[in-house]
Amino acid sequence: MIDNRRGVKAVILAGGRGTRIAEETDTKPKPMVEIGGRPIIWHIMKIYAQHGITDFIICLGYKGDKIKDYFHNYNLYSSDLTLELRSGMVIHQSQAEDWRVTLVETGLDTQTGGRLQRIRNYLGGAEMFCMTYGDAVADIDITAELAFHRAHGKLATVAAVRPLARFGALHIVGDTVDRFEEKPEQEFGLISGGFFVLDPKALDLIEGDTTLWEKSPMETLAARGELQAYRHPGFWQPMDTLRDRMGLEALAESGAAPWMTWL
């Protein structure tokens, strides 16, 4: 676990519409879709909390009221209590985590970069902060990623992961398929796994609400040699589709979900 006396916060982008999983997101934002009886955003926060990061900033947008309601009532629903109908409520014992959660309205149609720009004032004087999306889980070692970031001294670190082997791979010579692998274990190249460590100065590259973090800011950081890759060879899974959600649910029900390393 890291020494978090330096005030590292975790920013979670939770404002998108999640249109590719509309079966779930017609009535709730994607970060509130449940895996194992808990919203996926809770799982993401647990990943950070086990590494000593318990100060969260959540960027709200689509149906952000659902996320506000969840955290507003979280302690209530996690507690034993007595209701004095005239004088109030007494909480006897709480199962709620000791987290600090700042919920920020960052706009309904604001892009990812714009959302980050809008929460900049909530970062305080932190020399760095974590950032991720509200729809993917991993067994990533956040402590090691932070150490990697501190060591290289650049503005940004991104977790590099293997792309998912969603489909069977065809190995072709000429026009002849000479080998087929169903969901091959190895694939070429690495992609962004969405778990970042950033210097607040990296946000200077964001022009406004319409800026996609994944476009000009990241491209500029890379061109300037300010973006470093922390290789994460372990489990990583986004929840882009209903099939993804069902797969994560099956892992949670099995009792051996790879990302639930706090158990």
Burial 170-194 (b: 16+ CB within 10 A, else e): eeeeeeeeeeeeeeeeeeeebeebb
> Of 63, 67, 58, whose CA–CA distance to 108 is shortest?
63
Distance CA 85, CA 96 (A): 23
Q: Name the DSSP letter for residue 162.
A: P
Cβ contacts of 246 within 8 Å, gap of 6 or more: none
Structure-token pair, residue 259: 């990302």
Q: Give the pLDDT confidence score for residue 23 in this predicted structure.
A: 83
Average confidence (pLDDT) per 10 residues, the chain, 263 residues: 72 91 89 97 97 97 97 95 93 94 97 98 94 98 96 95 64 51 58 95 98 95 94 94 95 96 92
Q: Name the DSSP letter for residue 164.
A: P
Average pLDDT of the chain is: 90
Distance CA 93, CA 123 (A): 31
Q: Give the pLDDT confidence score for residue 170 in this predicted structure.
A: 45
Q: Name the DSSP letter for residue 212.
A: -
Q: Give the pLDDT confidence score for residue 2 in this predicted structure.
A: 59
CATH number of the 4-254 domain: 3.90.550.10
Q: What are the boundaries of each domain within the chain?
A: 4-254
Per the DSSP assignment, residues forming a β-bridge with 132 are: 12
